[in-house]
Structure 1
Amino acid sequence: MASDDFGRDLASVQALLRKHEGLERDLAALKDKVNTLGGEADRLQQTHPQNASQIHLKRDELITNWEQIRTLAAERHTRLNDSYRLQRFTADFRDLTSWVTEMKALINADELANDVAGAEALLDRHQEHKGEIDAHEDSFKSTDEAGQALLNTGHYASEEVKEKLGILSEEKVSLLELWELRRQQYEQCMDLQLFYRDTEQVDNWMSKQEAFLLNEDLGDSLDSVEALLKKHEDFEKSLSAQEEKITALDEFATKLIQNNHYAKEDVATRRDALLSRRNALHERAQFRRAALEDSFHLQQFFRDSDELKSWINEKMKTATDEAYKDPSNLQGKVQKHQAFEAELSANQSRIDALQKSGQELVDGKHYASSEVSTRMDEVSSQWKKLLEATELKGIKLREANQQQQQCFFSWKYI
């Protein structure tokens, strides 16, 4: 009972407590003997008065020794209990700090993902870690309460306990801070992988649209140009439909950058490249539409010029026939020619309209300006020839008609 060994760890303290409890059971068994001896001493003092003082002295010595033994046993039991509470606290402290170290290593072990599925798995696994941390909350609480109880009772190792309580609190806080830090990183990783996935989808889509715009076919007829314009309108609708997604990506990237995302520089680079590519795509689409519209106007001009040339050629047959050589019904032929001249005059507006539309194409720097000018010259030349032939035919018809009239009057007055 006078031993200074109160155990160095939980197991040794528990062993000493069990041993001491055995001793206390032995003392409990001795108590009856001590009481019996005390009673016997009282009796002997009565029956042997001549030895009463010596018997009394022995009895007091027995009682004193017995009380000392009981006091020593109680004190040792108290010290062993104090040691047990300390070692219990220390063991729990070691277990928790060891667990914190392992959990930190586990949380730090995962590398950032390279795709959306991996990022989702990281977040799920990280949330599982939080569940395990929460599950240890009761252990932290009970260990802290045990330490505070030791301090409140003025335990001999209060300084050591106080230090360990501080360490335990710091370890818990640092673990939660690490978990929160990694949560933010994993969420940023998820955002980044979503951004990468969506930008890749848009990039692939734009590659297809760029391939569509590589088509340099502008059509060789009104029908073919109209078909190409219809396809281009559908293409522009597709651009408009995708614009909302690109705008959302732009806003998402801006948010990541403003929130100081760990990959903000790469996000900014990809966003700028995406927007530049989008702008270039729109410019090329506008250029393609302008080219198709130019082609449409050109084909309209070609159609109108072909129709006019064909019409002029048909009228040229009438203007160059030699009906004036046939003396029959010259008066009727003159009247018919006058109607023909009126028809030509009425169609002058068609010629003027064609020349105007052609000149607008030339003034607008149309890619086929040279061919347009050639066509304008051809129509103008044919029209001029038609007018000249018509004028000449009119002169000859009037001359033939006049000669016929003169011959008629000369014959009448012979």
Structure 2
Amino acid sequence: MEVVLEVMEDVLEVREDVLEMSGDILEVNENDDVLEEYGKDLTSVQNLLKKQQLLETDVLSHKDRIDGIRISAAQFEEQGHFDLENIKAKERQTVDRYESLQAPIVARRSRLQESLRVQQLLRDVDDEEAWIREKEPVAASNNRGRDLIGVQNLIKKHQAILSEIHNHESRIQGVTDEGKAMVDSGHFASEEITRRLGILHDHWNSLKEKAMQRKQDLEDSLQAHQYFVDADEAESWMREKMPAVCATDVGKDEDSAEALLKRHEALMSDLEAFGGTIEGLAAQAKSCRQQEAPLIDVSGKEFVQALYDYSEKSPREVSMRKGDVLTLLNSNNKTQWMGRDNVLISGFPEMQSIGGNRVMNRASQPEDVLLSLVGLVEGGGLVEGGGLVEGG
């Protein structure tokens, strides 16, 4: 009788433990949110898996006691115990209850593993979103360079950004493939996975579009700044010819006059040949996609253009020719400008503002200078045979 009581007490104790474990396993979160019930983020899922492991260990530790109850019940049955029916009923209830824990345990572990998988995916998506946000300001920058060298440096830097984006494509694709595989397998969080992947791809495509647009903008800026450099070189060449064109020396005798005439003819030949360069510049200007590039840089400077030739009258002044471009020093003082070689110029009322320069506006300047040179050469006086004649 004493043995029976001990067995029954053990049965009751095990039964209580099993009921408690059953409650832990079958507990459901009241908000019915599957992602919340199985962990709202990666850390919480990992914590739930640790608890699950402890619960499984606890259930497994009761197996020996369940086996002991089965053996004891079988022995009582062999002995024909008077209370066998009651003993067998308690044994069946306890064993059945214990065995009923196995399926929920397996199901919950599987669910937690799936939750771990989706939370890891969402963490990866967050990481990719952060990477995109980090690169976006650089990829979408409006800085197009202040000069030719500046643009070239920006293009090199942007090429590095484009390489980073290209190399990162495989990472985005990997996250996408993992998410699609989960959706295709009927994952319980398929709706959330699809939503997050859609947002990620929108941001990724936006980054690539902005990067490609900046590539085009920088190429346009390079084209414009290259034109400005070429135009400046052309004007520099023509300025070098200006002293010869404006020279007043007509020769002291026939020999010197003939020498000057030959130089004049050579100069005319040079100017005529240079017309091809000017035509090339005009075509180059028309092909520029960026027509609003600043004359010198994009720092917001304001420019003016001389309306007529001017000869200096004091040390604070400089001579200039019609069409020379100067930079405004003080927006509140429209009579102070910076000329070539950073010389301060004050007090010239006959200037017109040209503001932000257009390529096509700039394109007319080299041609105007060349026409002025040709006009001066054709209208200059030359000495031939000791007499003054009109130059051809």
Distance (Å, rounded) in 1 between the aligned partners of 2:388 and 2:375:
26
Aligned residue in 1 for 2:47:
121
**In structure 2, the residue corresponding to 1:347 is in which secondary structure?**
helix
Tell whether 2:269 aligns with 1:347: no
Query: Shift in Å at residue 156 of structure 1?
Result: 6.8
Aligned residue in 1 for 2:303:
none
Tell whether 2:189 aligns with 1:271: no
Unaligned segments of structure 2, at least 5 residues: 30-36, 295-356
Aligned residue in 1 for 2:370:
383
Structure 1 residues 88 and 321, CA, compared in 2 at 3 Å: closer, same or farther? same
Aligned residue in 2 for 1:280:
206
Structure 1 residues 140 and 317, CA, compared in 2 at 3 Å: closer, same or farther? same
Contact 1:316/1:389 (CA < 8 Å) preserved in 2? no
Aligned residue in 2 for 1:24:
none
Distance (Å, rounded) in 2 between the aligned partners of 1:324 and 1:173:
122
Contact 2:291/2:360 (CA < 8 Å) preserved in 1? no
Distance (Å, rounded) in 1 between the aligned partners of 2:84 and 2:277:
113
**In structure 1, the residue corresponding to 2:118 is in which secondary structure?**
helix
TM-score (norm 1): 0.66
**In structure 2, the residue corresponding to 1:217 is in which secondary structure?**
coil
Q: Deviations over 1:320-347 (max 9, x none)?
A: 3334465451211222223223333443
Aligned residue in 1 for 2:241:
315
Structure 1 residues 142 and 198, CA, compared in 2 at 3 Å: closer, same or farther? same
Select the residue among 396, 401, 407 that pairs with 2:384.
401
Aligned residue in 1 for 2:70:
144
Aligned residue in 2 for 1:73:
none
Equivalent residue letter for 1:118: S
How many residues are paired up?
318
Aligned residue in 2 for 1:300:
226
Distance (Å, rounded) in 1 between the aligned partners of 2:6 and 2:284:
102
Tell whether 2:361 aligns with 1:374: yes
Tell whether 2:21 aligns with 1:103: yes
Unaligned segments of structure 1, at least 5 residues: 1-12, 18-83, 407-414
**In structure 1, the residue corresponding to 2:100 is in which secondary structure?**
helix
Tell whether 2:182 aligns with 1:250: no
Query: Shift in Å at residue 102 of structure 1?
Result: 0.8
Distance (Å, rounded) in 2 between the aligned partners of 1:161 and 1:260:
46
* Further displaced range: 171-180 or 203-212: 203-212
Q: Which has the higher strand share?
A: 2
Equivalent residue letter for 1:374: N
**In structure 2, the residue corresponding to 1:106 is in which secondary structure?**
helix
Query: Shift in Å at residue 280 of structure 1?
Result: 0.4
Equivalent residue letter for 2:369: Q
Q: Deviations over 1:29-48 (max 9, x none)?
A: xxxxxxxxxxxxxxxxxxxx
TM-score (norm 2): 0.69
Distance (Å, rounded) in 2 between the aligned partners of 1:365 and 1:231:
20
Tell whether 2:60 aligns with 1:134: yes
Aligned residue in 2 for 1:223:
149
Structure 1 residues 198 and 311, CA, compared in 2 at 3 Å: closer, same or farther? same
> Greater relative contact order: 1 or 2 (C-alpha under 8 angstroms, separation 6 or more)?
2
Contact 1:253/1:268 (CA < 8 Å) preserved in 2? yes
**In structure 2, the residue corresponding to 1:218 is in which secondary structure?**
coil
Distance (Å, rounded) in 1 between the aligned partners of 2:184 and 2:85:
48
Distance (Å, rounded) in 1 between the aligned partners of 2:202 and 2:292:
28
Q: Deviations over 1:307-363 (max 9, x none)?
A: 1122222223322333446545121122222322333344344323322221111xx
Contact 1:151/1:158 (CA < 8 Å) preserved in 2? yes
Contact 2:224/2:290 (CA < 8 Å) preserved in 1? no
Aligned residue in 1 for 2:312:
none
Query: Shift in Å at residue 376 of structure 1?
Result: 1.3
Contact 2:292/2:359 (CA < 8 Å) preserved in 1? no
**In structure 2, the residue corresponding to 1:322 is in which secondary structure?**
coil
Matches within 5 A, 1:81-96: 84=4, 91-96=9-14
Tell me the C-alpha RMSD between the 2 structures.
3.3
Aligned residue in 1 for 2:260:
333
Structure 1 residues 143 and 378, CA, compared in 2 at 3 Å: closer, same or farther? same
* Further displaced range: 305-314 or 213-222: 213-222
Distance (Å, rounded) in 1 between the aligned partners of 2:274 and 2:24:
92
> Percent same amino acid among aligned pairs?
22
Query: Shift in Å at residue 278 of structure 1?
Result: 1.1
Structure 1 residues 161 and 223, CA, compared in 2 at 3 Å: closer, same or farther? same
Aligned residue in 1 for 2:125:
199
